[in-house]
Every structure is written in C-alpha cells, then in structure tokens.
Structure 1
C-alpha cells in the first residue's frame, strides 16, 4: 500500500508518496501566493492551499489505482483560519510569521501575565501564536469576529475539506496558546480570555489517529479510492522530527527551512522556566521542547535573490574559505524574532563591515547568523541540564555542505544527515502509515525507516574560533534592542 504525506509549507505545497517499506515512491510540488499587505503582516488564502492539494493529489496518485491507504499532513503552524457557519473562509489566513498582534501579545504577557499563561498552556504569548491573532481580529475586525463559527490551523483546514472532520492534533494545537499542553485538553480559561467558545475549536487527536475517510464526492472528482483514511497529522516541526526519527527521549533535530528550529524530544512533560523555548506535545504521543526563529533559510533566499539578484546559491558559497575568521556579523531577524527573544520589532542587521569586506564575507555572515541565532535556543536547553551531543538535520538549508559544517562547528555537535531529507512531508507519510496500522507505533516506524547517510563532526580548531565569535554575536541584539523599537 501507499501512504501520502502533505507538507503544507509557507511558499509551496509538497506531497510525498511512500510505500509500506518506508521507501519514497514519488513527490509533487505546487506553489501558491504569499501576501504582505502591510509591513510585518503575512497572509495566504486557504482556498489556494486546497486547490493546490487537489491538483497535487491528482498528479501524485495517477497510476496508483486503489493502493492509496492513507493521507496525512505536516503543516505550517499557528496560522489562523476562520470560517463562518456556512464554512466560508472569513478572511485570509494570518500566518505564523505575521507580527501584527504586538499589542495583543503584550496584553497577554503583561496583563494576563506570563506566569499565568505558562500555568495554563505551558507557554507564553508570541505574536505568531493563534490566540493573539484571535484577539487582534476581535479588536480590529469585530464584524468578522462576530461571524466566527470554526477556528482552524492551516493543515486542519485541508483535513476538514478532504474529510469533513473538524479536528486537530495535540502537536499543532500546542502552538495556539489555547491548549493545556500538560493535560492535553483545551484551556477553558484561555478560551474565555479570547472571547470564544469551545465549540469553535476542533476535536483533539494524537497525530497518528484517523479522523475519517475522504469525502465520496472528492474521491470521485480526483479518481481516488473512497476508503482512503485521513490521518490528522502534525505541525510541520513535529512532522519533520518524525521524518528524522527525532522521537523518544533526548533526540534532537535542527530544521533549516523558511523558519529555523531546534527540536528536542522527551517522554516527559517539561517547561523552560524562562519560557524562551516552547513546550509542546509531540507527534509520537509524547512531548518536546522547541526553539523557533522566524527567518532561517529565508534569510539566505532574501540575500541571494533580492540583494545579490542570483539564484545560483551553490556558486555563491564556492569561494567561502575564511570560516571562523569573518569580521562581519548578521542578525537574522527579518520578520522579527521568536525564540529566545520574543521580539517582533527586531530586524535584520549587518555589523562589522569595513572597506575590505567582500561579497563572500556578507554571504558567510548570513549563513553564520542563522546558526548563531539557533544556538541561542540550544544554550537555553543546555542551561536546563539537557546534553545535546548530536543532532539530525532537515530543511532546504540542509542541502548546503557549508551550512551543515557551520552547524557542527558553531554548536559543537555531530550533525547526522538522513538518507531522505523530505522533512514534514515524509514525517506525515509515516504518520499515515501508523494510522493505517502498517506500524505499531510512531517510534517503531521512524526508527525502522530513517537511515543515516552522512555524519559531520565538529573540527576542534573551528569550534574554538566559533565559540569566540558566538560570544561576540550574542552581545549584538541586547545592544540594539532599544534601537529596533525606535525605528519600528
């Protein structure tokens, strides 16, 4: 049998087909628009996602006859999708990297209080989370707020359109600031604070649980088997972690996608006392800690395409040789920042240029800056006594040999590269297989399917050089924090 994983990304949709042995059969990608109607805003139309999903399913399932057993999802997290009583989308989805809800975030953190939020949800408010966005709609679009009947996350809209089941999973729901993560149930107090009702929120499932089957009319339209199970899936970071076998106790994964994350799995619930890291449910049925930066590979894409006006990413990295000796630093906060600073006003910054600064120095600074920023979150985990000596890696940035080498040396960890680097889509396909009974558990499936093709070890001399550079890097943001707020 075949299992399909749908990776609903920010810039594109990717569908992965996997067979019963965990082997990739084929993949399909579809793009859709991303809108920035105001500075710091980020939106997409959910109908664009669903059209792409239908086109992608038609293409990837062609010739598979009735061998498709299940479909699951790994979707961009935190996005606010709201529907009216007739299931019509009320407004464009407000995405994870949207910073408009600064006032609402401040209200939650400073009036309701971070300690109270952590007690209720295991997390504090970030501008990207769903609850501040709900309050923003309430405060700024009251006529739309009054019409809300259903509140969904991006992947759950696709699941709903395919199956008719109003559902979500614990991993994705953890990022809404509405879930009591420890007890895996909706927080009644947070629901009240946001001025909504529980019937507006979806039913909660584990990521590997089926929520229904494909709608008969859709099966006919797409030429698919009517018995295909829809498995709810996970938030993209949790799905990517499944796709790299980051499951069980103490495993680590770094994702260099549009956003960047460091993901540490655990069988026990735990909270970082500073709330610099997110404490979320995991798609394997357990928990995880996660540091998330809003701009990772997107920083390199911006630098290459918008500034250097090139798409030849490989060529730009070929002549970079001065590792550990670059005088230029880059703060990668192009969309503000989440972990660990929680500052939507932060912005991208180059510092340290001189008359002898070269193009290669600037390019290297961008790559280094992303990893330095991720190390900020790693240091929080280490302060909790968590020992991380190796990490898996995935995302578009993981295709760069230079970037993988930088991860190993800036973080002083071994970097393990899986044979498949398909990220959330592959993890979603594994969840589909588990949901259809192909494997006994997510942990069993991931550990039997995921294989390592390359190990990058830290180099002692570079570790020393990058330790000195990191100590300089981490002083830059505090020095500029007040400036960012002033320049807006």
Structure 2
C-alpha cells in the first residue's frame, strides 16, 4: 500500500494525517502549541514551536506504522494564512511570527491606501488592506522594530517555514502568496509596483511555486528523527482555506464551502481572476493551478464557541455544552449574539468592533446563550453568502467542514439560515485532507486534483432547509444586521478602556 502525509499547521495545533491510496485516514496525530498575546490586539507564535510539534507529530505517526516507511511517498502542507515570519541572511527567525488574527496594524493599512491607493491595490491584489494581511505586518515591523527589520532578507508564511526546516528549501505557493497583499493575483507574480511604492525590496519575497509542485525531499536529520526516509518527496502545499476547499472537493464552478474553525470561512470556486467584488470578499489564487476562489471570513467563528466554553464551562466538553441547544427555540428566546470578539473581517473589515449579547433576559439560561452563539456565528457567515448571491452566484448546496459539521443541530441551523442544502462528509479532515490530496496528485497517483478528490471524498448526509425555519431566520437575520451599525460608535468609545 502507498501512503501520503498531510500536515495542517493551524493556529492552535498541527494535525498530521497518514492517508492511504484509497483516501482512507489510517492515523492522525495532533500536537498543540501556545499563542502569545502580550497585549490586546497582539497575536504571535514562536515558529520553533511549530517545527518541534510537527516533528513530534510525524514521529508519533510513524511509531505504530507497520509498513515500510518507503511506502510513504509524499508529504504536503496546509497552513494558517497571512502570518509573518521574518528570516535573516542565514534563514534564521528574527522575531516571533505575527499571526493572521493580530490587529495592531490599522495605521499601516491606512499607509498602504495612502501610498498605493485603494482602487489600485484592488486592481493588483484583488483584496483590501486589512490588519490580518502580511504586508501591513512588514510595514509595522519596519516602523516599530527598525533594527530587526534591517536584518530581514526574506519573509515566509507559517507552513513555508516549517517546510523549509524539513527540506532546507525556501518557497511560497501562490495560494498563500495571494494573502500577503504583495502578489498580483491575476498575473501570479510579485508586484514590483507595490514594493517600489512602499519602499520594500522585492528580494524579501521568496520564490513562487504551484501548490502541487515538488520542492525537495526530507533532510537526513528530520528523516532519522521521525522514522521517515530522506527519499520522501515534499510538495509545496497551500493556504489553509485553499486546502480546505480541495479537501472538500471545491474544484469546479458551483461548488461552495463553509468551514468553521477558529475563524469561519465561506468559500466558492472561481474559474477566472477577472471578477470584481470591489473588495467586499477576498479573492485568492486556488491550490489548483490557474484557478481562484472568493471567500468571506468571520474572524471569531469557532473561537466564539471556544471562548464561551473556556469562560463559562471550562470543565465540560463541547458535546456537553451543546447537548441542550435543541431544547431552545429559534432565536434563543430573544437573545442575539454578534461574534465580533476579536474584530471582524467580512463584510465590515473592522478591527475595533467587539461582540455583543443583545436582549439578555432574566429567564435566559446557559443553553440560550450557547444557541445564540451558534446562531450569531452562522448569521455572520450568512453575510458572505448574501454577498455571493447578490453578485449573481447560485448557492444551493454547501459542503460544511470543521467544528460546525460535528453537531447535527448546528448543521440544520446552517441549512435553515443559508437556505441551502448542507452536505456533511463521511471523513471530514478539512485542510489536512487537502494537503494529502496535493501530495497524492504530486506523486502522480491521479491525473488531476479533481480525480483525486472524487476518490478520496465521500458524502455522508445532507441537511435540507425547513421552510418555516427559513422564514424565522430571515426575520432574525435582518435584526442581526442592524447590530453592527448600532454598536460601532460605542465600541470606538470603549477602545481607550481596553
């Protein structure tokens, strides 16, 4: 039997999957690492933690592997987007990585607009300047840590650094490069114009490769420490959302994905890079060659639920926390939640806004708050679906992955709020499976990513919208949409107290 490994470098943990030639997950290992939050709005990690835990995960994966390590033919990666890893002339890390959910760069986003111009930036990168993206982070380090910035010779994104440490080769794939605000998305090349306007040396940008492209093999030390062989082929991999799309079969027009992890994503396939959403949603290069995807993001989707559990039910499992939500009526008996606890991205792109519980009543119990959190997360994701539908896209079937696919009541909620059929996959591994598919295709097990996905991905169950629920949620959604405008100014006034 032949095998590949998919490595998904997430925000809280790295997940390592061993997948056989039939697309079956033989084993999976997860290794966590800490988040560093020195002050409000800051979010960093030590890249060495990623490397150590990835190597530990690979080692554990091989511990009980009964086959010959030579049968593990390839490894590929999925990784959290936008994070800035700065390297010196010896490719050593200069400072902690600044992550996608870090919001300290509002002034630098304005600098990008002032120098490049909003319209020109959208023309080149297809995306607005947001705090989470990589370019504002580069500008922040240059302004606030000039001595460190002068040491920088290259920047990469999180999974690229881990891959470098495993292979000794430094690259970045197009799907991750699209999230830097330095890539000409349509032309698939670094933008000399943006670099020149902002005074950045384009040599900071690494070599670009396709997601399925082979970039090296494991270095001897890594092979020995993990139990793999130095002949194991390593493929570039892709951004977590691109890999999540591949792992859910979003590889042709009409396919849409809802992924609820730490953040939440609604993603739909685009065959061309010439559509104009005026920056209301993200527009990135896909992990599939010469394809694209558009995407709306809820910054604190699954994180909203994690925050609630850790704050109010720390000793309970998520299953216990959600056990009573089917006893709570739609609308949580008049309780509404907005998931802006770390700011928001789609459709508001607002780093200052914060979350709210609206309509708290003395009759409300914890289960009402839990249902309100789930509904608020789903309403936020529905804002992205609404943008897609208003642009003329037909969205009647959505593949749901991540934490939102683990609870039947939540899946039905998605069907009712989105007014679309929701498909749950039989083996839902998200970005990790997408990385494995890229490795399998790179090893030439299949003639195309689509052919591989059809072999590896099996649907489990479909949840269809219930008309009376759709009507109730439509009314609630209109109320939800008013909360942002009515709390924006209040949150701006509260900033100085954070």
Output the TM-score relative to the length of structure 2: 0.96
User: Does 2:9 align with 1:11?
Assistant: no
Task: Determine if contact 1:102/1:127 at 8 Å carries over to the other structure.
Answer: yes
Deviating more after overlay: 215-224 vs 383-392 = 215-224
For 2:218 and 2:162, the matched residues in 1 are separated by 11
What is the distance in 1 between the residues matched to 2:401 and 2:474?
Answer: 24
Is the counterpart of residue 290 in structure 1 residue 295 in structure 2?
yes
Instruction: Report the equivalent of 2:319.
Output: 314
Determine the C-alpha separation between the residues in 2 that align with 1:429 and 1:262: 22
Structure 1 segment 377-416 matched on structure 2, within 5 A: 377-416=384-423
* Alignment check: 8 A CA contact 1:13 1:53 kept: yes
Classify the secondary structure of the residue corresponding to 2:41. Answer: coil
**Partners in 2 of 1:24 and 1:136 — Cα distance?**
41
Give the corresponding residue for 2:355: 348
Given the superposition, is the C-alpha separation of residues 359 and 470 from structure 1 closer, same or farther in structure 2, using an over 3 Å criterion?
same
The alignment partner of 2:178 has SS state of helix
Q: Deviations over 1:178-225 (max 9, x none)?
A: 110011111111222443322221111111111111112322333321
Residue 77 of structure 1 is matched in structure 2 by 81
Q: Please list, as runs of the form range in 1=range in 2, the aligned pairs for 1:251-330 lying within 5 A after superposition.
A: 251-285=255-289, 286-320=291-325, 321-326=327-332, 327-330=334-337
Please give the alpha-carbon distance, in whole angstroms, between the structure 2 residues aligned to 1:431 and 1:443.
Answer: 10
SS in 1 for 2:117: helix
2:151 match: secondary structure: coil
The reply to whether residue 228 of structure 1 matches residue 235 of structure 2 is no
- Taking the TM superposition and a 5 Å limit, the aligned residue runs for 1:174-189 are 174-189=178-193
How much does 1:107 deviate? 2.1
1:111, distance to aligned residue in structure 2 (A): 4.7
Give the superposition deviation at 1:322.
Answer: 3.3
Match of 1:143 in 2: 147
Return 221-230 or 117-126, whichever deviates more: 221-230
Looking at structure 2, the residues matched to 213 and 255 of structure 1 have their Cα atoms a distance apart, in angstroms, of 31
Q: Is the 8 A contact 1:277 1:340 kept in 2?
A: yes
Post-superposition offset of 1:304: 1.2
* Match among 468, 490, 498 for residue 461 of structure 1: 468
**Partner residue in 2 for 1:130:** 134
CA contact (8 A) 1:270 1:279 kept: no
CA RMSD of aligned residues (A): 1.3
The count of aligned residue pairs is: 488
Does the aligned pair in 2 maintain the 1:324–1:469 contact within 8 Å?
no
Match of 1:161 among 155, 165, 168: 165
1:236-247 matched pairs, under 5 angstroms = 236-247=240-251
**SS across alignment from 1:146:** helix
Q: Note the C-alpha offset of 1:157.
A: 0.3
Q: Contact 1:272–1:384 (CA<8 Å) still a contact in 2?
A: no
Q: Structure 1 residue 369 and structure 2 residue 376: aligned?
A: yes
Confirm or deny: 8 A CA contact 2:283 2:295 kept in the other structure.
yes
Q: In 1, Cα distance between the equivalents of 2:341 and 2:407? A: 21
Distance in 2 separating the partners of 1:436 and 1:159: 17
Measure, in 1, the Cα distance between the counterparts of 2:178 and 2:35.
24
Q: CA deviation at 1:293?
A: 1.3
What is the alpha-carbon distance in structure 1 between the residues aligned to residue 118 and residue 455 of structure 2? 41
SS at match of 1:454: strand
Contact 1:208 1:442 (8 Å CA) reproduced: no
Pairwise mapping of residues 30-49 of structure 1 onto structure 2 (< 5 A)? 30-49=31-50
Q: Displacement of 1:20 after TM fit? A: 1.2
1:324 shift after superposition: 2.2
**For the Cα contact (< 8 Å) 1:237–1:424, is it kept in 2?**
yes
- For 2:225 and 2:460, the matched residues in 1 are separated by 40
Cα deviation, 1:329-360, whole Å, max 9, x if unaligned, reads 11101111111110011111111112222222
CA contact (8 A) 1:172 1:235 kept: yes
Partner in structure 2 of residue 420 of structure 1: 427
